[in-house]
Amino acid sequence: MIRKLNILFLSTAVLLLAACSNTKYLTPGQILYTGADVKVNPDSAKKVTGEKNLRETLKGLTRPSPNKSFLGLRYKLFFYNLAGEPKKDKGFRYWMRNKLGEPPVLMSQVNIESNVRVLQSYLVSKGYLRASGDGEKVVKGKKGSAVYRMFTQDQYTINNITFPVVDTSYSITAIINNKNDKTLLKKGSPYDLDVFKAERVRIDNELKENGYYYFSPNYILLQVDSTIGNNEVNIYLKLKDDTPFAALQPYYMRNINIYPNYTLDKDSVIRFGEPRQYKDFTIYDPYRTYKPRLFERLIFFEKGKLYNRTDHSRSLNRLVNIGTFKFVKAEFTPLDTLTSNNMDVDFILTSLKKRALTFELTGTSKSNNFVGSEVKLTQINRNTFKGAEQLKISLSGGFEKQVSGQAGRSNSYSLGAEAQLIFPRFVFPIWNFDSYNAYVPKTHITVGAQLMNRANYYTLLSGKGEFGYIWKGNQFNEHVFNPISVGYVRTTNTTDSFNRMLERVPTLKRNFENQFIIGSNYTYTYTNQFQEYRRNNILFIGSAESAGNTINLFLPKDEDGKKRLFNTVTNQFLRLEADFRDYYKLNPGKTTLAGRLNIGYGIPHGNSEILPYVRQFFAGGGNDIRAFRARSLGPGTFNVNSDTMQLFADQGGDIKFLTSAELRAKLYRFIHGAVFLDAGNIWLAKEDSARPGGRFNFGRAFNEIAVGGGVGLRIDARIIVVRADLAMPFRKPYEPQGSRWVFDKINFGDPEWRRQNLILNLGIGYPF
């Protein structure tokens, strides 16, 4: 205890000395600027709504910003001073001073009058039209700060809104008036300049939907009368007198021209070549690269119809999202605006290369002491049948080697092949159906096979085939529905020792029987992670899979009461899984609190007593409960490491619960650190005599949760994230009751304890 206090005292002293040392490098007359304080209506009982947030906002508007600090230590200034004046424009000292460090921010850089004007302007924009303020510098020794006093007076509110008088010469004023029920300007609401700007954008959007392509929010004028008294304003919305004639009339689509293979060097050849006419489209494709029907599903404009922004945006989004075109642009050309309100549109498209070959090399290091690599070669054809169909053919091979751990180290290798054909539309057996939002619906046909050999155990042959649909309801959610999913697993070349283990454990034996998985599956994904401006981002993935329920209706039972297809068992189960992730930015760009909740439940029934091995849930590993080796945790209180029968290390279950919390902090540029805590386990739906304590019981499940935590270091280079997480268990569910929390057994000085409890997880990407 005394030793810990000494360390704490020494650490505090070092921090204080480092903080003090920041001022000793200042020259005579220099004062270090430590920041600003803003007081709203000081010495007054008057309070404003959201005063705390208002003070913080005003404080953030002051300039300059003080040197960055953490726990009172101005660490960037510390490195700047520590490096001193380098003799050369390179080397370690130069790097420390200019990359890690930053020069001192001085009081001489603070302009009180300028900051007061900025703060006053902001208050006026928020309805405090009579706001005023002052400020002063406060100096103590070699440090100084700025104090600002802002006086808001009463906030003005909106009394009345007047929209433009309908002018029979132009229908634009009628549209503005007809849509005034959607106005953002509400009687009684505070005067707010940001809302005024948003109202102009709203009106512009409404007009764009009605053909006014050349209109702009800048053509709308909001006049404010603040002289009516009672701290209220009247707002008069009108069109500016100098609004161009082109902006005051709607436009209709005339010619819709498509250039699907446009390049600058062949501009004239393509533009003046012989076009093809397909419905409303004029297609300039001299090489007949694409079927004209493709553009009917991608471009929503029609001849003679009013221009509208929705069709414009949907067309561009679909052309971009289809994955065939490298550059997409729409050029609008009006006819003589004095005699016609028609315009032409040219869709200028530059295609990606039709064929591409990609090579991937992946290195792996797992917490179950396996290291290895995988090579994957993929051939892509982006326009297989001239309708932007994508054909992907992949070949892969990999190996893993156990470098340490239990006796009987094993190696494994795998070989795989997969072919996937994606149609940029819905394909139904009987009729065609299409969606009309901004995202291209897709149909996929996928077939694949894999051979995996695990030395000392078995060779696993597997094949799969799927037919299904992929579509997005909007930018936030995606649906994947595979009405037909067929999987086949065959185990061969089993070793004698593995066969003896299977005979002793009937449930394990059923896992490795030859089997079919025939059914359907559905996955729903919701995310707003692409909206980086949000303080809180979430991701939800929910999936459901049903197997065997349809095919088994048509299969007879054998003498064992099982239903088989080609003398192979057909699995029957329902499997549900939900994965929810939350990312809250404590300090945007610097610190994030990430959380995860993963729940899975499998129900084997009818022809199956357990879930097939490839559909079971597992616990432990680099992306799971990191304090336990991959797939070694559970089920329940069962401990495979102490089993006298030397069971197979991969322990699966029918039920899973996992929760994780991780505090992520940016340390320096692309170097990030993390502190994390994981908890969870897996369980069996039915009793298994070979794995006592593995069955799920709601009453005792909470007491069977494993807990672990640790620290991590990540190199986030944007295109790739390399991760190292060091974890240790805090709670072991397989220990006796009352001894499952293991804080009292932690002993970093014991090499045997470190070997058994410290788990280093290396991986690519974040754990969640």
**Both structure tokens of 415:** 């070989």
Asked whether residue 724 is domain-assigned, the answer is no
Choose one of 335, 351, 367: the last residue of a domain.
Answer: 351
**Both structure tokens of 534:** 């949000």
Question: Using 50, 70 and 90 to split pLDDT, how confident is the model at 270?
Answer: low
Which helix (H) or strand (E) element contains residue 161? strand 157-162
The DSSP result for 421-467, as a single string, is EEESS---SS------SSS--EEEEEEEEEEEEETTTEEEEEEEEEE
Do 193 and 286 belong together in one domain?
A: no
Question: Using 50, 70 and 90 to split pLDDT, how confident is the model at 506?
Answer: confident
**Both structure tokens of 46:** 């008057």
Question: Using 50, 70 and 90 to split pLDDT, how confident is the model at 607?
Answer: confident
**Both structure tokens of 140:** 């103590």
- The 10s digit of each residue's pLDDT in 311-363 is 999 999 999 999 999 999 999 999 876 678 999 999 999 999 999 999 887 65
Average pLDDT over residues 446-463: 88
Distance CA 238, CA 164 (A): 5
Asked whether residue 377 is domain-assigned, the answer is no
Asked whether residue 761 is domain-assigned, the answer is no
> What Å distances lie between residue 345 and 54, 171, 205, 255, 300, CA to CA?
47, 24, 20, 6, 12
Percent helix, strand, coil in the chain, to 5, is 20, 40, 40
pLDDT at 507 over 80: no
**Both structure tokens of 144:** 């100084």
Q: Give the largest CA-CA distance in the chain.
A: 99
Asked whether residue 763 is domain-assigned, the answer is no
Distance CA 333, CA 527 (A): 38
Asked whether residue 764 is domain-assigned, the answer is no
pLDDT given at position 717: 79
End-to-end CA separation in angstroms for the chain: 37
| Contact of 144 with 35, CB cutoff 8 Å | no
Do 542 and 617 belong together in one domain?
A: yes
pLDDT given at position 360: 81
Query: What is residue 351's three-state secondary structure?
Result: strand
Question: Using 50, 70 and 90 to split pLDDT, how confident is the model at 274?
Answer: confident
Question: Using 50, 70 and 90 to split pLDDT, how confident is the model at 503?
Answer: confident
pLDDT at 1 over 50: no
Q: Which domain holds residue 188?
A: 157-248
| Contact of 176 with 206, CB cutoff 8 Å | yes
**Both structure tokens of 475:** 């930018």
- Residue 410's Cβ-count burial label (10 Å; 0-12, 13-18, 19+) is middle
Distance CA 530, CA 177 (A): 35
- Residue 358's Cβ-count burial label (10 Å; 0-12, 13-18, 19+) is exposed
Average pLDDT over residues 95-115: 93
The DSSP result for 676-701, as a single string, is EEEEEEEEBSS--TTSTT-B--TTTS
Average pLDDT over residues 92-114: 93
Do 279 and 226 belong together in one domain?
A: no
Cα dihedral sign for 728, 732, 736, 738?
Answer: positive
pLDDT given at position 764: 79
Q: What is the DSSP letter of 12?
A: H
> What Å distances lie between residue 472 and 236, 319, 477, 538, CA to CA?
42, 15, 6, 17
Query: What is residue 755's three-state secondary structure?
Result: helix
pLDDT at 514 over 50: yes
The phi and psi torsions of 703 (rounded to 5 degrees) equal -80, -5
Distance CA 33, CA 138 (A): 10
pLDDT given at position 658: 97
CA angle 55, 57, 61 (to 5 degrees): 115
Do 18 and 92 belong together in one domain?
A: yes
Average pLDDT over residues 640-660: 77
Closest CA to 312 of 281, 347, 283, 279: 347
Q: Tell me how long the chain is.
A: 768
The phi and psi torsions of 379 (rounded to 5 degrees) equal -105, 125
| Contact of 135 with 116, CB cutoff 8 Å | yes
The number of C-alpha atoms within 13 Å of 616 and in the hemisphere containing its C-beta is 26
Asked whether residue 768 is domain-assigned, the answer is no
pLDDT at 403 over 60: no
Write down the residue that tokens 């380098």 correspond to. 86
pTM metric for this prediction: 0.80
Do 45 and 88 belong together in one domain?
A: yes
Question: Using 50, 70 and 90 to split pLDDT, how confident is the model at 432?
Answer: low
Q: What is the DSSP letter of 551?
A: G
pLDDT at 445 over 70: yes
Asked whether residue 715 is domain-assigned, the answer is no
| Contact of 485 with 466, CB cutoff 8 Å | yes
Do 545 and 576 belong together in one domain?
A: yes
pLDDT at 442 over 90: yes
Cα 712 to chain center, whole Å?
Answer: 20
| Contact of 731 with 706, CB cutoff 8 Å | yes
Neighbours of 105 (CB within 10 A): 19
* Averaged confidence pLDDT in the chain: 88
Do 569 and 602 belong together in one domain?
A: yes
Q: Supply the Cα-derived Rg of the chain in whole angstroms.
A: 34
User: Over 276-326, what HEC string results?
Assistant: EEECCEEECCCCCCCCCHHHHCCCCCCCCCECCHHHHHHHHHHHHHCCCEE
pLDDT given at position 405: 39
Question: Using 50, 70 and 90 to split pLDDT, how confident is the model at 408?
Answer: very low
Mean pLDDT: which of 559-573, 639-653, 660-674 is highest? 660-674
Sheet holding 276-278, edge to edge: 276-278, 281-283, 252-259, 342-351, 325-334
pLDDT at 541 over 90: yes
Choose one of 323, 351, 379: the last residue of a domain.
Answer: 351
Distance CA 239, CA 164 (A): 7
Question: Using 50, 70 and 90 to split pLDDT, how confident is the model at 518?
Answer: very high
Do 262 and 237 belong together in one domain?
A: no
Tally of domains within the chain = 4
- Residue 645's Cβ-count burial label (10 Å; 0-12, 13-18, 19+) is exposed
Average pLDDT over residues 276-293: 93
Do 327 and 442 belong together in one domain?
A: no
Sheet holding 157-162, edge to edge: 157-162, 232-239, 220-225
| Contact of 298 with 437, CB cutoff 8 Å | no
- The 10s digit of each residue's pLDDT in 201-251 is 999 999 999 999 999 999 999 999 999 999 999 999 999 999 999 999 999
pLDDT given at position 660: 97
For residue 266, the domain's CATH number is 3.10.20.310
Distance CA 123, CA 51 (A): 12
For residue 455, the domain's CATH number is 2.40.160.50
Do 21 and 133 belong together in one domain?
A: yes
pLDDT given at position 7: 43
pLDDT given at position 443: 95
Asked whether residue 490 is domain-assigned, the answer is yes
| Contact of 455 with 426, CB cutoff 8 Å | no
Do 113 and 184 belong together in one domain?
A: no
Average pLDDT over residues 687-707: 90
Question: Using 50, 70 and 90 to split pLDDT, how confident is the model at 21?
Answer: low
Lowest mean pLDDT among 6-15, 94-103, 393-402, 533-542: 6-15
**Both structure tokens of 190:** 């505070």
- Residue 419's Cβ-count burial label (10 Å; 0-12, 13-18, 19+) is middle
Do 418 and 344 belong together in one domain?
A: no
pLDDT given at position 337: 62
| Contact of 616 with 602, CB cutoff 8 Å | yes
Q: Pairing relation of β-strands 252-259 and 342-351?
A: parallel
Choose one of 136, 151, 166: the last residue of a domain.
Answer: 151
Closest CA to 203 of 233, 240, 232: 240
Lowest mean pLDDT among 289-303, 422-436, 468-482, 602-616: 422-436
**Both structure tokens of 692:** 């006592």
pLDDT-above-90 percentage for the chain = 59
